Amino acid sequence: MNSYLDLQGIRKNYGTTAVLDDVCLQAAEGELVTLLGPSGCGKSTLLRCIAGLADLNGGRILLQGRDLERLAPRQREVGMVFQSYALFPNLTAGENIEYGLRMRGDSKRSRQRRTEELLALVDLEEKRDVYPHHLSGGQQQRIALARSLAVQPKLLLLDEPLSALDAQIRKNLRAEIRNIQKRLNMTTLFVTHDQEEALTMSDRVCIMNKGRIVQAGTPEEIYAKPRTEFAARFMGSYNVLTRPEAMRLFGRLEGSSDSFALRPESVKLIRPDEEEGARAGGKRIVEGTVDSVSVLGTILRYTVDSGGVRLTIDVLNDGRSIGIGERGSVRLALDPSQLLQLEQEGA
């Protein structure tokens, strides 16, 4: 990869606590890379270090080959949108967008032209003279984005900008942000703890845990092939099995891994008349008992016990009953090729 942004061995301590531990990351020009992880894993701290809002204890931050460490935040050509948006309450939407341009000394005519362009970009031309407290959360988020883009940064940092919004608004805005990012070819680091957000928005996803990047790849790679137990559990409803549990379901196992992952949609609930076809297709058939069923919109999520092993199973909610027996007994078709061996944490 031709690195536009290059993070080399980033370390950050608060007292004796290591918040970032040898973080290495490269991003190409125009790429959107998401830092995904639980609260406290260091992802927001990493953004603050890149923006110059927190000092490093070690490592280098290179943007287009230029070392940012000794540069003040305003000299780094980095834009940042915070979780709280941080709009100035005493300035209108337009004045908020203009702020960075004014500090830079741009002419009034140039500021006005740029502000009009950005208001059009985020589809809020009619809100130019409106103060933040009269804007909805989604509108404030878009104004904060426009303000960060006003000075034409070389790098955009987004620190959970959608977390305070309602679910439907969040879905709409993440699509808008992605469209704007692509249109401008803006290299972007996006921080979130929401797996769906990371998978739908990103060119690449970096899973963080305890100050380290534990796995990086495309959304497809991250979801389909988690490498460790932490990654598998964090990516949602993966079934994480011990070796004895996996042997109980699949019989003999290849390899020496102590833990395994099984995607919830790879387990099939089948009717008795489907069993022969499933066996012919190489599936392993086991009995199970349904403990619960949850409706998740287009998905029905079953919790099933099979010989003492609890499995989460996702089935398309297409209106057709699976045909559960009086006591909730079901047959499960397991595909051995879908059982993933997991690496030991830290390996």
Question: pLDDT tens digits for 163-211?
Answer: 877 888 888 888 888 999 999 999 999 999 999 999 999 999 999 999 9
Which residue matches tokens 């034409």?
152
Please give the full DSSP string across 86-142, using - where no structure is assigned: ---TTS-HHHHHHHHHHHHT--HHHHHHHHHHHHHHTT-GGGTT--GGGS-HHHHHH
CATH superfamily of 5-226: P-loop containing nucleotide triphosphate hydrolases (3.40.50.300)
**Quick check: pTM over 0.85?**
yes
Task: Report the distance separating Cα 343 and Cα 277, nearest Å.
Answer: 33
- CATH architecture of the region 239-341: Beta Barrel (2.40)
- State mean pLDDT over 329-345: 90
Confidence class for position 280, pLDDT limits 50, 70, 90: confident
Question: pLDDT tens digits for 288-305?
Answer: 999 988 888 888 999 999
Cα-based angle 81, 6, 155 (whole degrees, multiple of 5): 25
| Residue from 267, 219, 269, 245 nearest 342 by CA | 245
Q: Residue 35 is which amino acid?
A: L
Dihedral, 216, 218, 219, 223 alpha carbons, nearest 10:
-60
Choice between 189 and 103, residue whose per-residue pLDDT is larger: 189
Confidence class for position 326, pLDDT limits 50, 70, 90: very low
Question: pLDDT tens digits for 248-278?
Answer: 999 888 888 999 999 999 999 888 778 888 7
Task: Report the distance separating Cα 317 and Cα 67, nearest Å.
Answer: 52
User: What tokens were used for 50?
Assistant: 């890149």
Q: Where in the chain is the domain with CATH 2.40.50.100?
A: 239-341
> Please, are residues 122 and 146 in contact by the beta-carbon 8 Å criterion?
yes
146, pLDDT greater than 60: yes
DSSP state of 195: H
Helix H or strand E segment including 331: strand 329-334
DSSP state of 203: S
Residues whose CB is less than 8 angstroms from the CB of residue 270 and which lie 6 or more positions away in sequence, other chains included:
278, 285, 331, 332, 333
Please give the full DSSP string across 55-95, using - where no structure is assigned: --SEEEEEETTEE-TTS-GGGS-EEEE-TT----TTS-HHH
- State mean pLDDT over 310-335: 77
Choice between 279 and 9, residue whose per-residue pLDDT is larger: 9
pLDDT of 336 reads 92
> Please, are residues 166 and 118 in contact by the beta-carbon 8 Å criterion?
no
Question: pLDDT tens digits for 53-85?
Answer: 999 999 999 999 999 999 999 899 999 998 887
User: What tokens were used for 89?
Assistant: 């309450």
> Please, are residues 9 and 59 in contact by the beta-carbon 8 Å criterion?
yes
- State mean pLDDT over 90-117: 94
Mean pLDDT rounded to a whole number for the chain: 90
Task: Report the distance separating Cα 236 and Cα 2, nearest Å.
Answer: 32
Cα-only R_g, the chain: 24
325, pLDDT greater than 90: no
pLDDT of 85 reads 77
Confidence class for position 322, pLDDT limits 50, 70, 90: low
pLDDT of 75 reads 92
Task: Report the distance separating Cα 213 and Cα 90, nearest Å.
Answer: 40
